[in-house]
Amino acid sequence: MMNKENENIRWSLLAKDVSGELSAQEHEQLHNELANNQDIEKQVKKLWGDAHYAQALKDINTDKAWSNVKTQINSNKKGILFKRYMAIAATLVIILVSSLFVGIISKQQTSVISTTHSIEKVVLPDGTTVDLNHGSTITFPRKFKGNTRKIQLNGEAFFDVVRNEAMPFIIETEQINISVLGTSFNVKAYEGATNTEVIVTSGKVKVDSKLNSENVILEAGDAVNYSVNSNTLERHKVFTNNYKAWKTKELEFNNTSLSEVIQTIEDSYHISIIVGDSIFTENKVLNATFSKYSLEHVLESVCTSFNLQYSKQGEAYFIENRH
């Protein structure tokens, strides 16, 4: 039979008090019930507090735990009561710490690679290669398991995916998901950007919008642009390889306006170019090909074609009319 000094305690209230969910009215009720049982309250709160640091209480069935506690309180001896409290609370601590440990191990099984002012080549566990552009981050498991090879990308990267029909390769970005079997393509998906772009070099790629049910299938030479403003996937053709010039430094201009030439050079060499107000870039077109030339050579060639000159001031390049 339960000890008389404990028989009036409502254990559900004590459990809610420990977990911080007790209302003011319930707190007053519990205070009255514990008037002659302060030792019990202090002991239980201490043991529970020791476990709380693991921040895993949401994973524990507290109702079931407290039910187990109540079924153990059948002794008339206070010393035995506390020993059983401690044994049960210790079990809760072990469960909580184990949950935390599993979470830490899970994080250790994931790799995160980020770049700032450099391009880095990454080889994934399946042999897929990824060229990671400036200011980009890729997150992937140390070993692919299950039915898919899923990774996350924030930024821009060129993928050459190893084919595996039984295990599709999935890239998750902020706005779209990309599914492939084996192919090569470029993804530009910086966090916070209003546009995300996928351009396919070889093979097939499926692109799904995360904000609606729209999707498209792309083949070599196809591209799709997702716009946040219109919430649509806009498909189009690509006729040059300038989209991956940031990686290859291969530039091709066919009747290309000077404004687009400058934008391509900025993206490929990660620089800022400021054009003088008196230069009308839309009225000037360029026909030229550059293969792995230095930035200075490219700028000099472009400027010479239009009787312009460039200079560097700080981190930016300025283009103006030749004096």
The answer, yes or no, to whether residue 31 has pLDDT greater than 80, is no
The position carrying tokens 């002991």 is 43
* Per-residue pLDDT at 278: 85
Average pLDDT of the segment spanning 138-158: 95
pTM for the model: 0.66
Among 159, 149, 92, residue whose Cα is nearest residue 126: 149
More confident: 303 or 26: 303
* Per-residue pLDDT at 51: 42
Percentage of the chain exceeding pLDDT 70: 67
Q: How confident is the model at residue 323 (pLDDT cuts 50, 70, 90)?
A: confident
Average pLDDT of the segment spanning 33-48: 54
The answer, yes or no, to whether residue 305 has pLDDT greater than 80, is yes
Question: Per mean pLDDT, which range of 102-106, 198-202, 273-277, 284-288 is the poorest?
Answer: 102-106
Q: What is the pLDDT of residues 211-240, one digit of tens each?
A: 888 999 999 999 999 998 999 999 999 999
Question: Rounded mean pLDDT of the chain?
Answer: 80
Q: Name every residue whose Cβ is closer than 8 Å to that of residue 298 and which is 6 or more positions away in sequence.
A: 251, 265, 269, 290
Q: How confident is the model at residue 48 (pLDDT cuts 50, 70, 90)?
A: very low
Q: What count of other Cβ atoms lies within 10 Å of the Cβ of residue 318?
A: 15
The answer, yes or no, to whether residue 21 has pLDDT greater than 50, is yes
Instruction: Look at the chain and count its residues.
Output: 323
Percentage of the chain exceeding pLDDT 90: 58
* Per-residue pLDDT at 59: 47
Question: Per mean pLDDT, which range of 27-36, 255-264, 282-291 is the poorest?
Answer: 27-36
Among 182, 173, 213, 219, residue whose Cα is nearest residue 200: 219
Q: What count of other Cβ atoms lies within 10 Å of the Cβ of residue 197?
A: 21
3-state secondary structure the chain: CCCCCCCCCCHHHHHHHHCCCCCHHHHHHHHHHCCCCHHHHHHHHHHHHHHHCCCCHHHCCHHHHHHHHHHHCCCCCHHHHHHHHHHHHHHHHHHHHHHHHHHHHHHHCEEEEECCCCCEEEECCCCCEEEECCCCEEEEECCCCCCCEEEEEEEEEEEECCCCCCCCEEEECCCEEEEECCCEEEEEECCCCCEEEEEEEECEEEEEECCCCCEEEEECCEEEEEECCCCEEEEEECCCCHHHHHHHCEEEEEEEEHHHHHHHHHHHHCCEEEECCCCCHHHCEEEEEEECCCHHHHHHHHHHHCCEEEEEECCEEEEEECC
* Per-residue pLDDT at 83: 58
Asked whether the beta carbons of 179 and 201 are under 8 A apart, the reply is no
* Per-residue pLDDT at 68: 54
Q: How confident is the model at residue 40 (pLDDT cuts 50, 70, 90)?
A: low
The answer, yes or no, to whether residue 250 has pLDDT greater than 70, is yes
Average pLDDT of the segment spanning 245-269: 96
Nearest-angstrom CA–CA distance, 211 and 97: 38
Average pLDDT of the segment spanning 91-104: 54
The answer, yes or no, to whether residue 245 has pLDDT greater than 90, is yes
The position carrying tokens 């895993």 is 56
Q: What is the separation of C-alpha 77 from the centre of its chain, rounded to a whole number of angstroms?
A: 55
Per the DSSP assignment, residues forming a β-bridge with 184 are 160, 202
More confident: 150 or 86: 150
